Structure 1
Amino acid sequence: MEGIERIGAFFEGKAYALHRHDTYAIGRTLAGVQTFNYRRGMRHSLPGHTMVLHPDEPHDGQAGTGEGFHYRMVYIEPALFQDVLGGRALPFIEGGVTTDVRLSMATETLLQQPSHRIEPLERHDALAELALALAAVSRTPSPRAGGDFASARLARDYLHAHSQRVVTLEEIETATGRDRWSLSRDFRTFYGTSPYRYLTMRRLDAARAMMLRGVTLTDVAAAVGFADQSHMTRHFTKTYGMPPARWLQIAKGVR
């Protein structure tokens, strides 16, 4: 679904190397112990716990016991929450793991089996419910004085439209009418990452889609705006915790 990815997986041992992405990662452990490093601490998620990892926060993933772990996760672009929050700072859940029943209930729809089809209106309602639950649990304040949500949204739209080429700060300043430093600060507040990271992530989104269509990694890297395949691989591994070839194996269900 646009702006949303859902996965269900089982891992033994090490699952992901340290990485970060510009989406929320919100999930639930179904069996076993899911262990990950997050914000200078080791976290442990047990069955029934809800995980809420903030955009652009480094984390990894591994089994906490020899039995492995089973989990479901939904990755949501912050822009979808901003459609509901209207320029409030993005909600942050301290520690990344919670037993708050409000979040457990608000994630039920999106954390169903990934094969379950979610209707468009159902998706809209689920996103709104989850955004409001996150804001309530984290006690997200109203927009801070001086924050310019409209300009940040213009910058995001511009980066979307030009994601497969080099974009300069001067271009973004011209497109939004804001100076680069204020805009970068506001962009992080409202979308959880920097403009450059956001641009890189859109390239990686396009890269994954091309990989699934069978395009070679060399051709993918050139098509989506990376300097070469090694350049793309470095960014890919930092974002998804594994190199492109391994990700493609998992995405296609190949062991």
Structure 2
Amino acid sequence: MQGVPEHFDHPSDQAEFRHPVGRGGIELYRAEIVRHAFEPHTHEAFGLGVVERGVERFRYAGSEHLAPPDSIVMMNPDILHTGRAETEGGWRYRMIYIEPDVLAEVSGEPHWWFSGAVVDNDRTRARNLSALLASLWQAREPLAFDSLLFQFVAALRPHARVAPVARDDKAQRFTPVLDYMRAHLSDRIRLEELAAVAGLSPFHFLRRFQAQHDVTPQQMLMALRLHAAKRFLAAGETPARVAAATGLADQAHLTRAFVRRYGVTPARYRRQVRA
């Protein structure tokens, strides 16, 4: 894949997505990034992958993390994160994004959860996972893909928790807020609306939301808008219509925001996942 020099800060930066044939709820991703810094975004799925070269720095769940070569990266759904190179030459990595119900179906175990975001002391497993991700990218037969997916999930299982995770009642308070945001992506949402959903005063809500999610409500709303934009684009909608449906000012606004979070333009993403 050629780079996207008109949008990246460095000609070596490149990123590519793929949706597998015959298996929904999964997105494959591979990238080599030198200068680009990804703004906070979410995939609403488990983000599982391996750093193959270089070191990545990313903020996740309120903490900074470093992922060196042959490290495994494990992100839980609905948690915003960033990403940038920690080393001068950037970093190369592969990821698979698996929706929770798909992961439960493949593994036969519900309630997967990862306590740590990076495992950097299991090099043999990391290299095996990287090879499986490369094979998944190349797989064109649905049966071959599903067989490789099963192997990938089984190889990752030792690093997962599968018992139900106790959720903080305070955190639960914001679930309706996120649902409200998703239902009103194209609206101009006011702080007072979100606070009312949470049953708090406006700035008390803002402080609590920031403490819980490590981002402001506006940052979360933009992440949800861009994630919805991915779904619309994958379904074949044009960038202009997607911009309108997700509350962005215009197609140019969508393009800028999309590149900052995912490393590709909306049009390129649409072509990649529909190829």
Map 1:1-255 onto structure 2 (within 5 A). Answer: 5-9=26-30, 11=31, 14=33, 17-19=36-38, 20-23=40-43, 25-29=47-51, 32-38=52-58, 43-46=67-70, 49-52=71-74, 55-60=79-84, 71-74=94-97, 91=115, 93=117, 96-99=118-121, 113=136, 116-117=145-146, 132=161, 148-191=170-213, 193-253=215-275
Q: Structure 2: how far apart are the matches of 1:173 and 1:167? A: 11
- Asked whether the equivalents of residues 5 and 76 of structure 1 are also in contact (C-alpha less than 8 Å), the reply is yes
CA 1:161/1:234 → structure 2, altered by over 3 Å: closer, same or farther?
A: same
Q: Deviations over 1:129-162 (max 9, x none)?
A: 86637x9xxxx9x878xx7223212212221222
What is the CA-CA distance between 1:191 and the residue it aligns to?
A: 4.5
CA 1:58/1:220 → structure 2, altered by over 3 Å: closer, same or farther?
A: same
Which consecutive unaligned segments of at least 5 residues does structure 2 have?
A: 1-22, 104-109, 140-144, 148-154
What is the CA-CA distance between 1:171 and the residue it aligns to?
A: 0.8
CA 1:61/1:242 → structure 2, altered by over 3 Å: closer, same or farther?
A: farther
CA 1:202/1:60 → structure 2, altered by over 3 Å: closer, same or farther?
A: same
**SS at the partner of 1:215?**
coil
Q: CA RMSD for the aligned pairs?
A: 4.9
CA 1:205/1:143 → structure 2, altered by over 3 Å: closer, same or farther?
A: closer
Q: Deviations over 1:202-246 (max 9, x none)?
A: 322332233233332222211221111122122212211232233
What is the CA-CA distance between 1:62 and the residue it aligns to?
A: 10
What is the CA-CA distance between 1:127 and the residue it aligns to?
A: 11
TM-score (norm 1): 0.61
CA 1:74/1:99 → structure 2, altered by over 3 Å: closer, same or farther?
A: farther
CA 1:210/1:6 → structure 2, altered by over 3 Å: closer, same or farther?
A: closer
Bigger mean CA deviation after superposition, 224-233 or 36-45: 36-45
What is the CA-CA distance between 1:177 and the residue it aligns to?
A: 0.9
**AA in 2 matched with 1:6:** E
Identical-pair percentage: 21
**AA in 1 matched with 2:53:** V
**SS at the partner of 2:192?**
helix
**AA in 1 matched with 2:179:** D
Q: Structure 2: how far apart are the matches of 1:56 and 1:247? A: 20
Q: How many residues align?
A: 221
- Asked whether the equivalents of residues 171 and 212 of structure 2 are also in contact (C-alpha less than 8 Å), the reply is yes
Q: Structure 2: how far apart are the matches of 1:92 and 1:25? A: 12
Q: Structure 2: how far apart are the matches of 1:194 and 1:91? A: 23
What is the CA-CA distance between 1:50 and the residue it aligns to?
A: 0.7
**SS at the partner of 2:222?**
helix
Q: Deviations over 1:60-90 (max 9, x none)?
A: 369998xx9563333668xx9xx959xxxx9
Bigger mean CA deviation after superposition, 169-178 or 33-42: 33-42
Q: Structure 2: how far apart are the matches of 1:190 and 1:57? A: 14
